[in-house]
Structure 1
Amino acid sequence: MSLARAQSVASVDDIPDAPDTALAQQTSDQSGGMRSQQQTSADPTNLEGKQTKRILWIVPNFRSVSVDEKLPPQSLKDKFVTTTLDSFDYSAFIFAGMLAGVAQAENSYPEFHQGAAGYGRYYWHTLADQAVENYNVEFIFPTVLKQDSRYYTLGRGGIIKRTAYSFSRVLITRTDSGNETFNTSEIMGAGSASAISSLYYPSRERTWTKIGQHWLTNVSLDGMTFIFKEFWPDINNAIFHQKQ
C-alpha cells in the first residue's frame, strides 16, 4: 500500500460518526439501561402474598410463609423457638386476659368464683390452655413426626379456592422433606392438649364429651386462623400498603 493510500484510509477512520448514528446509539444505551433497572427493581415491588411477622402490629405471625418463598426444613430449634414465641409473646398475655374476662363474666366455671381471685384462676387456666396446645401442635408432634408446622400461603386463585385451601391445612401439612401428608400434628396435638387441660379443670370437665368439644373447638379455631393468615397479605396491601 502506498503512503498516500494509507493516509487516505487513516483520514477516513478519523471522521466522527454522523449525528443521527451517535444519537441512535446513545438512545439504545439509555433504553437498555432503563430495561436493566426495571428488571432489577421488579422483584422488590412484588408484594403478592407477602407475609409479615405480625398481624396488625400485635398478633404473632412467625410461622407464616410468603407465596413462593423457599425455606430450609424446620430444625428442632426452629420449632421450639417459634412455639415459645407464640406461647409467651406479649400478645398472648393480652389475649388470655380478654378470654379470661369473658369466661368470668359468663360464669363459665362457678368453682373459680368471682372477684380478683376468681379472675386470676380464669387467667392462668386460659394461659395454660394456650401454651399446652401450642407446644403439642407446633413442637412436640411435629418434632416426633418430622412435620412442618409452618403455614404456606397459596396467594393465588379465587376466594373460594383459597379459603378451602387454608382451612384444609388442619388436615394437610408438609413433612420436613417437603411432601404433603396428613396433619397428624394438628389433629392429635389438639386432641392431646384438650385431654391434658381437662386435668387442671373442675372434675365435671373430665368427660369424653367435654374433651371432644374442646378438641373440635381448638381445631376449628386453628382453621379459622389459617384462613385469616391466607388473606392477611391482601388486607395488609389494600389497607396499609404493606407498611407493617
Structure 2
Amino acid sequence: MNAPAENAAQKWSDVVEPGEKIPPLYAKDKLLFPVHEELRPSGWFSTFLSSGWEQLVDGHPKYGSDSGAFGQRLGAAALRDLSMRTFSDGMLPALLREDPRYFRKQEGSVRQRAVYAASRVFITQRDNGSSGFNNSVVFGHGMASALTRAYYPQPSANTSVVFQTWGYSLLGEAAGNLWAEFWPDVRAKIFHKHRGPQP
C-alpha cells in the first residue's frame, strides 16, 4: 500500500492504535466521517442486531411480529443509526472540535482496559489532544433518539421510548468500544494459533 492510500485508510478508520501517527480530521472530514462508517460492512452489524432483537422480543418500535415487521424495524434502525452517526460522529465533532475516533488503550489489565473503553462514552479526545466530556456522543445520541418521534409508529413515538432509546444507544456505544479494544487481541491470538509455529 502506498503512502497516500495508507494515510487515507488511517484517516477514515474509526479506531486509532496507541502511538499511531494519524492524519488530523478537519471539520469537513468529520462531516464526511459518517458516510465512511455507513459504507463499511461492519457499520451495518448493529443495525441488523438491534432489528433482530426488537423483532424477537416485539420491542420498540412497535411494528408487530410478522415477517413484514422486520423490514420496517430494519428501516427504522437504519435511519436511527444513520442519524446517530451524523450527529455524534459528524456534525457535533465538527462544531465542538472533538475527535469521533476511538483511541485504544491496549496496555494494562483486562479490567483497566474495560473500564477505559466503557468510559469513552463520556470522555473523548479533543482536536488539541486534551480530554474532556464527550458531548458529541452523549448529546448526539440524545438528539437522534428524540428524532425517532418523527418516524416511529404509535405507541412508540413518545418521550419514554426516546429516553429508553437514548440509554440503550449509549450502552451500545460502550459495547462497540469494548469490541474495538479487545477484538484485535482476540483476532491476533486466533490467527497465531491457526498459523502454527514458524520454522
Query: Which range moved further: 141-150 or 67-76?
Result: 67-76
Aligned position for 2:156: 205
Aligned position for 1:74: 25
Q: Within 2, Cα distance between the matches of 1:148 and 1:119?
A: 34
TM-score (norm 1): 0.67
Q: Within 2, Cα distance between the matches of 1:197 and 1:110?
A: 9
**Residues 101-122 of structure 1: per-residue CA shift (max 9 Å, x gap):** 4433433368634555433212
Q: Displacement of 1:93 after TM fit?
A: 4.6
Pairwise CA RMSD: 2.6
Task: Tell me if the contact between 1:87 and 1:130 (Cα under 8 Å) persists in the aligned partners.
Answer: no
**Residues 77-128 of structure 1: per-residue CA shift (max 9 Å, x gap):** 4323331122243444565345434433433368634555433212211111
Instruction: Note the 1:1-244 alignment, pairs <5 A.
Output: 62-93=13-44, 96-108=47-59, 112-113=63-64, 115-241=66-192
Residue 242 and residue 100 in structure 1: after superposition, are their counterparts in 2 closer, same or farther (change >3 A)? same
Task: Tell me if the contact between 1:129 and 1:197 (Cα under 8 Å) persists in the aligned partners.
Answer: yes
Task: Tell me if the contact between 1:63 and 1:151 (Cα under 8 Å) persists in the aligned partners.
Answer: yes
SS of equivalent to 2:184: helix
Stretches of structure 1 lacking an aligned partner (at least 5 in a row): 1-52, 54-60
Aligned position for 1:24: none
Residue 111 and residue 171 in structure 1: after superposition, are their counterparts in 2 closer, same or farther (change >3 A)? closer
Q: Displacement of 1:137 after TM fit?
A: 0.9
Residue 84 and residue 159 in structure 1: after superposition, are their counterparts in 2 closer, same or farther (change >3 A)? same
Q: Within 2, Cα distance between the matches of 1:129 and 1:81?
A: 18
Query: Which range moved further: 78-87 or 90-99?
Result: 90-99
Q: Displacement of 1:155 after TM fit?
A: 0.9
SS of equivalent to 1:72: coil
Q: Within 2, Cα distance between the matches of 1:71 and 1:180?
A: 17
- Greater Rg by CA: 1
